[in-house]
Amino acid sequence: MDLPKIIQFPQIGNSGLGYISVAERVNLPFSVKRIYWTYLTPENVERGGHAHRELEQLLISVAGIIKIKIELRGGEKTEFTLDKPDQGLYIPKMTWRTIQYNKNAVQLCIASTAFDETDYIRDYETFLREC
C-alpha cells in the first residue's frame, strides 16, 4: 500500500529574482488527468470529509497554510501542514482526509483521474467497511 508523503519539488531561482518550482513526470507519483485549485475557503469551514477508491492526489499550498488530517486503511491517523509552495502532499487512494485552510490559502490539486462521483466515499462508516 502506498503511504502519504511530502514530495519536495525543485526550487529554481534566488531571493533577488524569485523562484519557480516544477512538477513534471519525473517527480510525480502518477500520470496527471486533472488539475484544479481551491481558494477563498473560509477558515471556519472544513473541507474534504471523504476518500477516493481509485483517485490519487498531490496537494500543494501555493499560498497560505493548509492543514490536512488523514486516516489510512487500518486506522492509522496523521496530520500534515502545507505552507511551502515547493512541497506537495501525496495522498494515495483509500485515504480519508479532512482539510482546513487559513485565510487566503490557495490549494492546487493534481489528480490521477478525471472527476468521477462514483469514486468518492463520502460516508465515514462506508470508508471503514471498504478498507
Distance CA(90)–CA(57), nearest Å, equals 6
Single out the catalytic residue among 27, 28, 32, 50.
50
Contact residues for 37 (Cβ-Cβ < 8 A; gap 6+): 62, 106, 107, 108, 109
Half-sphere CA count of 31, side-chain side, radius 13 A: 3
50 carries an active-site annotation? yes
98 CB-side CA count, 13 A: 10
| 87 close to 35: Cβ distance less than 8 angstroms | no
**What cell does 6 get?**
511530502
Cα distance between the two ends of the chain: 12
Give catalytic residue positions: 50
